[in-house]
Amino acid sequence: MEKGKLVKDSQISVIKKFLSKNILPMEKSYNWDELENAVFKITNIRKYEHPYNNYYTGEKRYIYEFDVIADMKYQGWTWSTGYCKRFPRTCNRFYRGKMEASISQELKYFALNAIDHVVVKKITWDYL
């Protein structure tokens, strides 16, 4: 995803300041019981210019990349944090979209457009 140029501006420093201290819940959908208490914390944020900006309208698009530490806080055997540490590829595939949706909900307060992309790049499974 890093095909665009890295952008360093005041918006990223403000987002890092506010969101890096917060522990965010994963978006719960349907009846996934393991997501009841699941949380994650943002460790790093990067902002890139989208390689396919719309030059006709002058509207710029951006890609926001996040590194997170996730904790399932689930007491069962499957889908617990220990399970996700042992099988990270499967768990990352299941929960990456839930984290991206939750981050998008938080970023709407920082003037994130609907055309900007939010990508969770690195997920570390650990206890918070």
Q: Which residue blocks in the chain are alpha helix, DSSP H?
A: 10-19, 81-86, 88-107
How much is the average pLDDT of 79-97?
A: 93
What single letter denotes the amino acid at residue 66?
F
- Domain ranges for the chain: 10-125
Q: For position 68, what pLDDT does the model report? A: 96
Q: Which residue, chain included where needed, has tokens 């790049």?
A: 121
Q: Is the pLDDT of residue 67 over 70?
A: yes
Here the tokens at position 97 are: 């979209």
Check residue 1 and give its pLDDT. 52
Burial status of residue 102 (CB atoms within 10 A of its CB: 0-12, 13-18, 19 or more): buried
Tens-digit pLDDT profile for residues 94-108: 999 999 999 998 888
* pLDDT reading at 115 higher than 90: no
Average pLDDT over residues 27-36: 80
Q: Tell me the mean pLDDT in the region 75-91.
A: 90
Give the DSSP H/E element, type plus range, for residue 39.
Answer: strand 39-49
Please, are residues 50 and 62 in contact by the beta-carbon 8 Å criterion?
Answer: yes
What is residue 41's predicted lDDT score, i.e. its pLDDT?
Answer: 95
The pTM is what? Answer: 0.87
42 pLDDT band, cuts 50/70/90, is: very high
> Is residue 8 scored above 90 in pLDDT?
no
